[in-house]
Amino acid sequence: MLKRTPSLNIWFLITCSTLLLSGCSKDDTANTAPQNNGPKGIVDAVQTFGGTLNESANAVIATQDGGFAVLGHTQSMDGDITDKTNESFDFWVLKFNSDKTLQWSKTYGGSENDRGHAIVQTQDGGLAVLGFSDSNDQDVSNNNGLKDYWLAKLSANGTLQWQKSFGYAGIDTGYAIITTADQGFLITGVLDVTASGGEGNSRTNAKHAGGDYWAIKLNASGDKEWSQYYGGFFTDTPYGVVQTEDHGFIMVGSSDSEDVDISNNIGSYDFWVVRTSASGDIVWEKNFGGTEIDEARSITPSNDGNYMIVGDTRSSDVNVSNNYGLADLWLIKITPEGELLWEKSYGGSGFDVGRSIKKTQENHFIIAGSSRSLNGHLTNNYGQNDAWVIKINSQGAIAWQKTIGGSQIDFFYDIAQLNDGSIVAVGESNSDDFDVLENKGFTDLLMVTLK
């Protein structure tokens, strides 16, 4: 598969770093807000879960009972993992009650590599989890190739009720799931179009190759209603999706294609945003970014009928007005028609990324990601990557930001606000010092609560 390697603008990076050290960024005032109502960013607890091998959390949701559920993957057969029979990766779900006490912890999968990426609560109080599976045994059946989307429906106490595999002969990976207005599901991820031979599309086949956005609409029982893929000849990867008021969908991710469904590639990888009808037909598609690498990771509705999209950028031109370093967390606000309302960069002179954005109870926003910086908008770094949470107001001004970690690598991948107003952020950690008091293996599942 062809790839493009962006060049770094050394003069710009040196100049930007100098401005950061002198505190002269042109929009620092616009990116700073007074404290507001809601959580204040005070760390309540830092916890790690795992065994002697590798664990990570990719998703967290608030649940109807006031608690929350975390989805990730685990390789270990010891420590906090009590129900695995081999050292392959499995989906791992941890359910906590409203007191933030662990109620149950269960693993799901087969004898090969299975990793969970997204979780939702269903109308019956249960859970649905999505990711990918290499397996075709134990909990997993009907695998069609190297990797398939794997969707599992769980009861409220974690019992596996049903499971479905979707894919073809290649590497097909599920990244996002939402419940839909008709109580069904939309699942999205990457389809290996070349390996599928062009199958997987309900609409007229166009000439695609490589990996495309792949959306599958399911009913409440997990039965397929339609399947569509979108993209071009290079690499198109969706990470986030929402349903629109007219029951269509907006998918966000990254693309370096400039043909077939993509009409305005700006340079290298762009934020690629696709709006579809309820039946999956393209309504519009737009690229956002600059001439370097820009990748969207998450989308959420704003409180005024528009949408916030977060990811990261290495650009400093076209749609990107500021770049503080090697990579910045980049936030854009768009209309339902895909018009760019405004954009903001957050970070310092290192690599800073956004992975998840959620609206809070007071109609502000919380963003989870990671940072390697110790300047610009960052005030602390314990070493390498720290996990990073930012709270912003509706105009994108920072209310507060917090880095959490140790001297090794620490990431946040998702974030949620609970019914009591507190925040839970999840990811992974290799550290055992500073904020992170214990490491149980190579990489642990990291969970932090803030108030």
Q: Which residues pair with 331 in a beta bridge?
A: 310, 344
Q: Which domain holds residue 438?
A: 10-243+320-450
CATH at 235: 2.120.10.30
Retrieve residue 358's tokens: 């959620």
DSSP per position, 404-449: E--SS-EEEEEEEE-TTS-EEEEEEE---STT-----SSBEEEEEE
Q: In the prediction, which pLDDT does 204 show?
A: 54
Q: Give the separation between CA 173 and CA 166, rounded to whole angstroms.
A: 9
The secondary structure of residue 169, as a DSSP letter, is S
* Burial class for 119, CB neighbours closer than 10 Å (0-12, 13-18, 19+): buried
Q: What is the pTM of this model?
A: 0.91
Residue 27 lies in a domain: yes
Assigned domain for 430 exists: yes
Per-residue confidence (pLDDT) for residue 206, from 0 to 100: 61
d(CA 30, CA 320): 15
Q: Is the residue at 85 inside a domain?
A: yes
Distance CA 235, CA 224 (A): 25
CA distance 174 to 150: 7
Give the number of domains in the chain: 1
Structure tokens given for 431: 């550290």
The answer to whether position 302 is within a domain reads no
In this structure, is residue 280 part of a structural domain? no
Domain-embedded: residue 265: no
Angstrom distance (rounded) from CA 191 to CA 172: 5
Query: Does residue 285 sit within a domain?
Result: no
Select from 313, 450, 303, 437 the least CA-distant residue to 389. Answer: 450
Q: What is the pLDDT along the chain (451 residues), one digit of tens a residue?
A: 333 333 333 333 333 333 333 333 333 334 544 444 789 999 999 999 999 999 999 999 999 999 999 999 999 999 999 999 999 999 999 999 999 999 999 999 999 999 999 999 999 999 999 999 999 999 999 999 899 999 999 999 999 999 999 999 999 999 999 999 999 999 999 999 888 888 877 655 566 777 899 999 999 999 999 999 999 999 999 999 999 999 999 999 999 999 999 999 998 999 999 999 999 999 999 999 999 999 999 999 999 999 999 999 999 999 999 999 999 999 999 999 999 999 999 999 999 999 999 999 999 999 999 999 999 999 999 989 999 999 999 999 999 999 999 999 999 999 999 999 999 999 999 999 999 999 999 999 999 999 9
Residue 308 lies in a domain: no
Both structure tokens of 437: 């008091």
Nearest Cα neighbor of 254 from 235, 280, 276 is 235
pLDDT at 310: 98
What's the pLDDT score for residue 207? 63
Instruction: State the number of CA atoms in the 13 A half-sphere of 189 facing the CB.
Output: 24
Residue 202's pLDDT is: 63
pLDDT at position 37: 72
